[in-house]
Amino acid sequence: SQTIHQWPATLVQPVGSPLSLECTVEGTSNPNLYWYRQAAGRGLQLLFYSVGIGQISSEVPQNLSASRPQDRQFILSSKKLLLSDSGFYLCAWTRLAVNNEQFFGPGTRLTVL
């Protein structure tokens, strides 16, 4: 069966510090991968998605970046965090078929102080 991992689960960082969040999928190959952010009391905002190694599409211009160094690994990064980067970050994957749902990881709670 497939599983998706995210770490860390929680993170408290000062403004201006770097960020690296990791997402790993097990039990499947060549998934589409996604990063979402949930601000407090708001819906999901798609940040990045990837259809393959090294292929990243950005949905919202911001100080965040994403990379996919391996088939089942998706990393969200920032060189300098802003207060507005606080939120709940969710990674998701889907199989390469038009009618398949997304499977979500457990999320990372980021607080920028």
Which of residues 37 and 64 has its CB atom nearest to other proteins in the complex? 37
- The torsion angle over the Cα atoms of residues 51, 65, 20 and 71, rounded to 10 degrees, is 20
CB-based burial, 8-41: b 16+ in 10 Å, e otherwise: eeebebeeeeebebebbbeebeebbbbbbbeeee
Of the pair 3, 63, the CB lying nearest other proteins is at: 3
Q: Is 87 in the site for other proteins (CB under 8 A)?
A: no
Closer residue to other proteins (CB): 16 or 100: 100
> Which residues in the 13-52 window bind other proteins by CB under 8 A?
32, 34, 42-44, 46, 49, 51
Q: Which residues bind other proteins (CB under 8 A)?
A: 32, 34, 42-44, 46, 49, 51, 88, 90, 92, 94, 96-107, 109
